[in-house]
Amino acid sequence: MKKIILCFLMLFVMTVFSACSRDKAAILFNREKITAQNVMNYSSVFSPNQRIYYLILIPKKIKTRTIEIHVIKKDNDYMRLGYNLYWSYSAYLKDDQMYYYDDYVVISEPGAYVMRVYSKDNPTKTLCMSQFFVK
């Protein structure tokens, strides 16, 4: 009897603490327009006034179909804990874009930047975040 209980307990512990994880949202940056052929040629360092193409992957469906994209510059000159909102955009996800969004942004000032994506469903929770540099 102890062996059977121990077996079930071991099976339960293995399923609870397994290494499986759910899909997470992500952002990929590229120097060229992102296609199926060059999606793995991502980069995180760009030149000023260069188009920075990005692809936002969203694994689960968003109820309102609207996302908010913020580009935040890491800067210590503004005395606001070193961060400055550089660019913001609200994007509507179409029927064929329910699980991804792609576009580009042009940044002229060198520095370190963070792109954050929020859902209009829960604007306090970040869906995904990624850092890139303009040198």
Judge contact between 65 and 92, C-beta under 8 A: yes
Whole-angstrom Cα distance, residue 134 to residue 35? 22
pLDDT for res 121:
84
Q: Residue 61's pLDDT is what?
A: 79
Q: List the strands of the sheet with 26-30, edge to edge.
A: 26-30, 50-57, 100-107
Tell me how far CA of residue 17 lies from CA of 5, 6, 10, 13, 27, in angstroms.
18, 16, 11, 6, 28
Q: Read off the pLDDT band of 104 (50, 70, 90).
A: very high
Measured between alpha carbons, how far is 45 from 52 in angstroms, rounded to an integer? 9
Q: What is the pLDDT of residue 109?
A: 92
Q: Return the percentage of the chain with pLDDT > 90, whole number.
A: 47
pLDDT at 20: 60
Render 43-63 in DSSP notation, one character per residue.
Answer: -SEE-TTEEEEEEEE--S--S
Confidence of residue 87 (pLDDT cuts 50, 70, 90): very high
pLDDT-wise least confident of 10-24, 89-103, 107-121: 10-24
- Average pLDDT over the chain reads 85
Domains, the chain, in order of start with CATH, read 22-134 (2.60.40.1930)
Structure tokens at 92: 């509507």
Tell me what pLDDT residue 94 has: 87
Distance separating alpha carbons of residues 71 and 41, to the nearest angstrom: 22
Cβ contact 117:128 at 8 Å: yes
CA–CA gap between residue 51 and residue 10 (Å, rounded): 53
Question: Which pLDDT score, from 0 to 100, does residue 59 have?
Answer: 86
Query: How confident is the model over 20-78, as pLDDT tens digits?
Result: 666 788 999 999 999 888 888 889 999 999 999 999 998 887 888 899 999 999 876 55
Question: Under a CB-based contact definition with an 8 Å cutoff, are residues 73 and 113 in contact?
Answer: yes
